[in-house]
Structure 1
Amino acid sequence: MRAAQLLIDNSWTDASTGATGTTINPATGEPIGSFAEATAADVDSAVESARRGFESDDWQGMSPDVRGKLLWRIAELIDENAVELAALETLDQGQPTFISTGVSVPLAAQVFRYYAGYTTKIEGKVSPVSIPNQLSYQTRVPLGVTGLITPWNFPLDIAAWKLAPALATGNAAILKPAEQTPLSTAYLVELCVRAGVPSGVVTLLTGGPDVGKALVAHRGVDKVSFTGSTAVGQEIVKAASGDLKRVGLELGGKAPSIVCADADIDAAVLGNLQGALFNTGQACGAFTRFYVHRSKVDEFTSKLVAAADALRIGPGQDPDTVVGPLVSAEHLGRVESYVASGKAEGAELVTGGERVGGELERGFFYRPTVFTEVRDTMTIAREEIFGPVLSVMPFDDMDEVVARANDTDYGLAAVVWTRDLKTAHNLPKRIHAGTIFVNQLPLIDPGSPWGGFGMSGWGREMGEYSIDEFTEPRTVFINLD
């Protein structure tokens, strides 16, 4: 059993009440570790510590070059401890090994290296002003204490892509991971301490939703960066309005996949299946609404169903596993309720639609599920399911499919499948989403922004956009008379 304590003032400590929670292996339903259940008093202590850390000479007096070396050292430590980090991510979250070892851990290290290079490149500007004999220039300054609240689907990566730019810009950071998956984040924080991050600059708070609520409402927190559900994001906006703290939100998605008449159907089937079932569909950018040209819909559906039925389902530790478990019994029940709604509203269940039994029945496994005869008004076509549930819908012309793809509250990601160069360039311009992929999986890279329109959130993560998210411009006027 692993234990995740709080980190406050660079000291590992239990919660002030001694309370703990339990994290569960989703492949077996068995406990694998405990974590401290922070209290409101612990949140107060964490914010006070982070403020001291932010204002300390050790941090504010650190040169950009040295800060960059510090972030680079964190990346090195991630690489050096990749095996254990990946094992934790698979054990705690359920990710298949090919994801934890091939995507999650390498991307976390890559993000820290990327922002290590940014520490020496955060520049201001001189503005030409019309007031005589005045010099006006701007610098970018850190916000202060940032609260970084991360979800359970990619705990390590999302912690990294919030923490790295927060540190690169000189902020102090309080990490609050999801209570379902705290272990890899706790390990990442341990690596930050080992790398030499000054006391108070990185803080870890574990626990349930009340910890996140207290962090958001705390007047000592200058910025909240949250990734998670749209409903929780809306509550954060309300709570943050009391002191108008900065808020960044990466929320839900309902990504449409448009398969044009000229698409390579075999490539589209494989790519859509991988893009839909990556991490068992527990990804905000997962492809979920398949709009297939009517001339190709029967071929696409039959090949999709055959490929889905052939996928290996099992625990993430099995190297042959492609589809792992859902993260919790609660989330499994949520997915089951969406499948039931699809049946009740008249969609045709072609395959899946049930839990996996036998030797996997103690885990939270669900078969890849394909629906046809899905109308755009159905619940499964409109709400984010966050699981292995796919809807296939035919379309006849481009104007029709653009209108249907855009008929959603979300706008995070979309994908287009075509072999026509004009379509590949022109169709994405008509889709209301933050990122549009063409003939490929939903990929994320530190150099490219990630975020959405509408109910998919506010702001962007990655690239230079994160520098803006974690800094404010400060203007200085100098009288030259």
Structure 2
Amino acid sequence: MTDQICISPIDGTEFARRPVASPAEIEAAISGAKRAQAEWASVPIAERGAKMLDFLRELLALNQQIVPELAQQMGRPVRYGGEMRGVDERVRWCVETAEASLADVVPPQTQGFKRFIRRAPLGTVYVIAPWNYPFLTVVNSIVPALIAGNSVLLKHAAQTILVGERFQQAMDKADLPKGLFANIVLDHEQSGRMISSGVIDHINFTGSVAGGRAVERDAAGTFASLGLELGGKDPAYVREDADLDFAIENLVDGAFFNSGQCCCGIERVYVHESHYDRFVEGAVELTSKYVLGNPLDDATTLGPMANRRFADVVRAQTAEAIAAGAKAHLDRQAFAADKEGTAYLAPQILTNVDHTMRVMTEESFGPVVGIMKVSSDEEALKLMNDSVYGLTASIWTKDVAAAEALGDRIETGTVFMNRCDYLDPALAWTGVKDTGRGASLSEIGFHQLTRPKSFHLREAS
């Protein structure tokens, strides 16, 4: 067992360290969750939702503390104000729609019988959270899980270890039943043992494909349900009828916000040949305006990546592509903070790329994007689907019918038109292929955190 340590990407020094839970602490957290859940399940949905609004209020009150902590832990510039706007939107949506999402399903009735299907809580939900959007990704699962009548155990990423503590702080101030929610510090080995023990009813994991496969192996034979949001290589297609300036502005932001460390960030762009030169020129001009630097500085618009090893992956992909003939359009020397051996990495746009290059096929999760010229919808569609991943895809066009028709053929979880890098809480957040399984948010997300329980009641004659 090892301590969980956050190394700040700002300067490479240790920012936070927490000891992992002891066997006794783990057992206490599990037994406490089981006891609390048995009582919580009988609380009306409206009261559960009210508690989540109390939690939201307490979490929002911590934001002045949270924003600089996030900058220290994972590098997002303080100028962007953290994640609370999205947290607020998602929590309120869950609360407002819970009654309808969890309502009994009543089939046509037969005289003398009462029949319905009830959404029963699964029991104890174990959430393994990532560092890139450490509040938003957690809210997606813990809030609907609790409203649905489950208890929740949270294991947060070591890189953002303080986030779990802020969730615990807000839950405690909201006066939830003791043990219903518990932040628990575990290493990978401890986490695997807890999953394989059979005491967990549902596991929600957001992270790498390798991590998702490890969770599946650990859960094998327990019959626990799984929600896995894994890798992505999200494409965009700029059609011939696109609003070019609008597409450039939004796709540059979609590629480089949060230093490209977004689950649904844009990692590859296919542009119709009629727009290609102007798109590349405009994207390079806009990207050159980013200010790479210390995320605690209000002038910084692009912070360091969360860890030096993540930056090294992007550097390697970029160097390999250039060696194979790709053209780099941005001069790294224009970004003084970009230095080898650090987490600071300048944004980069590559052309003359193709799908033999890792930068166009493997997840980068950093500030680099490749742009390819296409001559038709069919060519773009073929390239968009040429991926082991499928989280989101965006189409930039003025033709809604064309976007919908193309969307039907794209192998993805979400189809966007004229937007990207956004989660709508009313829609299912899901993916295909190596992006994972299951769904969060929307009514479907509630159903992932419950089980159908049928009632077939016959009146006595």
CA distance in 1, matches of 2:37, 2:293: 45
Alignment counterpart, residue 452 of structure 1, candidates 426, 431, 453: 431
Alignment counterpart, residue 364 of structure 2, candidates 385, 388, 392: 385
Q: CA 1:108 to 1:24, structure 2 compared with 1: closer, same or farther past 3 Å?
A: same
CA shift digits 1:191-233 (9 cap, x unpaired): 1011011111101112432233233223100000111112211
Please identify, of 294-303 and 465-474, the stretch whose mean Cα deviation from structure 2 is larger: 294-303
CA distance in 2, matches of 1:377, 1:129: 59
| Amino acid across the alignment from 1:412 | L
**What is the 5 A alignment of 1:328-367?**
328-352=307-331, 357=336, 363-367=342-346
Q: Residue 10 of structure 2 aligns with which residue?
A: 27
CA distance in 2, matches of 1:232, 1:359: 30
1:63 and 2:48 correspond: no
Contact 2:292 2:338 in 1 (8 A): no
**Structure 1 residue 133 displacement after superposition:** 4.8
**Structure 1 residue 383 displacement after superposition:** 0.7
**Runs of 5+ unmatched residues, structure 1:** 1-16
Contact 1:411 1:454 in 2 (8 A): yes
Q: CA 1:62 to 1:315, structure 2 compared with 1: closer, same or farther past 3 Å?
A: same
**What is the 5 A alignment of 1:225-240?**
225-240=204-219
CA distance in 1, matches of 2:201, 2:337: 50
Alignment counterpart, residue 223 of structure 2, candidates 231, 237, 244: 244
Q: Residue 291 of structure 1 aligns with which residue?
A: 270
Q: Residue 431 of structure 1 aligns with which residue?
A: 410
Contact 2:87 2:135 in 1 (8 A): yes
Alignment counterpart, residue 196 of structure 2, candidates 206, 209, 217: 217
Other structure's SS at 2:142 match: helix
CA distance in 2, matches of 1:241, 1:410: 23
**Structure 1 residue 39 displacement after superposition:** 4.8
CA shift digits 1:342-364 (9 cap, x unpaired): 23433222325689655977851
Aligned alpha-carbon RMSD (Å):
2.3
Contact 2:262 2:421 in 1 (8 A): no
Alignment counterpart, residue 123 of structure 1, candidates 78, 92, 103: 103
Q: Residue 93 of structure 1 aligns with which residue?
A: 74
Contact 1:314 1:360 in 2 (8 A): no
Q: Residue 6 of structure 1 aligns with which residue?
A: none
Contact 1:93 1:327 in 2 (8 A): yes
**Structure 1 residue 421 displacement after superposition:** 4.2
Other structure's SS at 2:59 match: helix
CA shift digits 1:300-324 (9 cap, x unpaired): 1122222222211122222222211
**Runs of 5+ unmatched residues, structure 2:** none
Contact 1:111 1:446 in 2 (8 A): yes
**Structure 1 residue 175 displacement after superposition:** 0.4
> Could you state the TM-score of these two structures normalised by the residue count of structure 1?
0.89
CA shift digits 1:43-98 (9 cap, x unpaired): 3332222112212x3x2332323212111101111222221122222221211224
CA shift digits 1:396-434 (9 cap, x unpaired): 111111111111111100111123444344332332211
Q: Residue 13 of structure 1 aligns with which residue?
A: none
Q: CA 1:224 to 1:352, structure 2 compared with 1: closer, same or farther past 3 Å?
A: farther
CA distance in 2, matches of 1:347, 1:310: 22
> Could you state the TM-score of these two structures normalised by the residue count of structure 2?
0.93
Contact 1:25 1:93 in 2 (8 A): yes
Other structure's SS at 1:464 match: helix
CA distance in 2, matches of 1:389, 1:247: 31
CA distance in 2, matches of 1:134, 1:304: 65
**What is the 5 A alignment of 1:46-85?**
46-55=29-38, 57=39, 59-85=40-66
Other structure's SS at 1:370 match: strand
CA distance in 1, matches of 2:145, 2:331: 42
Other structure's SS at 1:221 match: coil
Tell me the number of residue pairs that the alignment of Structure 1 and Structure 2 aligns: 459
Alignment counterpart, residue 84 of structure 2, candidates 105, 112, 120: 105
Contact 1:78 1:191 in 2 (8 A): yes
Other structure's SS at 1:127 match: coil
CA distance in 1, matches of 2:127, 2:427: 20
Q: CA 1:353 to 1:432, structure 2 compared with 1: closer, same or farther past 3 Å?
A: farther
Identity %: 28
| Amino acid across the alignment from 2:72 | L
Q: CA 1:308 to 1:418, structure 2 compared with 1: closer, same or farther past 3 Å?
A: same
Q: CA 1:64 to 1:425, structure 2 compared with 1: closer, same or farther past 3 Å?
A: closer
CA shift digits 1:147-171 (9 cap, x unpaired): 0011110011111121100100010
CA distance in 2, matches of 1:345, 1:44: 53
Alignment counterpart, residue 264 of structure 1, candidates 203, 223, 243: 243
